[in-house]
Structure 1
């Protein structure tokens, strides 16, 4: 594992640029033995030589080039945020201090932040105080409700999160040189992807990389999007948003999905050739919650027919819960047709033939703008794309 020593990282980048430890030592204001020691520690952690040492200078190995690309991205993002607060922070801020800052930004309480980091409360307080002293300004506003981060503090914390995420990716790529799988891939899964896209992609990925850890996190869109932007999630799979909710993420369309009207086997409407709109209006429904693309389409159906949305609605985001409610009643359900297909194929629910021209909704991938996946991450994304193509076919 790479030690998150920012001074070692800066020394490495200086040697890359200047080709010699002597000039790098002068630029970084350290001794030449300190440069040598920093490089030695980085190469030990990286699993091999980062430089070819020649009489003409130090030149990157293939391993070193991989590390340099990731490290430049990380440090450029971090230094820009630190420079905006105070140029001094670029030289003095440490990884431990930035971890404390991130924890405090999220917890807004020194005791809770210390607990999250597994440290003593005075240690976290001291780290934040050192950052504020170097910055020459307060990074938190102390209130009766806690320590509220300033906008500058939030920007630094976000840059540090993404910089550390980039270092995690560097570790994963360096490990591949030795045939090892390091770290984990984190996928945010919205409802549809959990049942019809991800299972196939994950099964294929496990066959290709049985040692690679993959974590799938379920949740509401807003919560998953926040974790994606903080670098805690690598890719989000599910219904795309239009318009895009914020400018620092990008979306990639995989396929279009429509809605289906569902009922229990033996439901009176199941024997009808086609169910008209006026009949749909009179029935109670189980539908997705407000704020989701599926619910917006459901509401738009009745608005387009110049009719009020049915008054008897039960909101439910789980196909499993919806299935059990429908099986025990004459209520109708409305959910993604792809998501419902497994329930229909198993004979647990039936799809009604309704006189509705459902508009499609885009299903796709959401990632951070400018994000560059590792080889393993890219392979999983390629398998998700392939599973989506197979689904459409």
Structure 2
């Protein structure tokens, strides 16, 4: 079976959980065999893993004819795409897009990030999807998150093939209910046009059904999983330290509840002093959190690392004694699973999708800073509790693998293709 996937991120160039999940899903599907996956992203860099999917860059897909020779194409994009594919794609330009801002190859430039003109990039991506869908044979189309829904819809219209959309998050999660109507309309349009919808948790499934008016039979939950740790990460040694370390790792935005982490930290530090708190990540609430730590008079016990990626994440986890994810609304949340892999006892909000499948963690309401502080204190003070959460948590997360998720997704594909 051939799957044409549209995504926005892919490792190693990731800005959040979407890229990590997209790779895990792709690998999990491929591990079940008999799948040919083409994964489209706005801007590849050339170092993406390619053993489970062929990568196509929207920024390497011509939408306007240019008379360019092979050597020139090779020199311009040969590090990310086979020049022959460029010419194959060029043969399927379906309209005159010369009025658009295209480069010397007739391609639209993409940032590969989340720029101020994001809506323009989403629209341009859907235009490019029309060329790709006319070129790459597929049996099923799979669009990851709202940014790619217009591309998925266009590909469905071109090919007539079934469309699956994968809801990694909704704007209700990102905005704490203050929904952007433009984003909401893109999300709902994708859901209406989709032949089936996959959500990453039952929490998100309920949001799709209740807030977007989608029939329950059209929505299936497939929980995320986690990649087994590489030997490189398994060999990371914890640093020698005098204090305990409690870590928050993620985007510092209102969805992630960073203020509850700071408030809980202040309560813990009233009881014990040999604790350092780390907020690892970046986001629009960072300055506010720095000021809140100062206001609570704990700035000397608080550290802001900025955005961490790759091995840096696991080095931070190796140095941690407790991990906290106090998310207000978390569709899934892969980071606690990564912490558990590293043997870090974890505290997560009940308002997170991963709480549906994890047992060997402490679950609290995100707003209950007393409960968060009590949990931190108990883990740090009682070695038996620390050891139980560490060992059982590591064993539990070892059974949550992408191959199982991939098998469920393939079952959905087969039902749609055979209808």
TM-score normalized by structure 1? 0.30
Q: Write 1 or 2 for the structure with the bigger share of helix.
A: 1
Structure with max Cα Rg: 1
Q: TM-score, normalised by structure 2?
A: 0.29
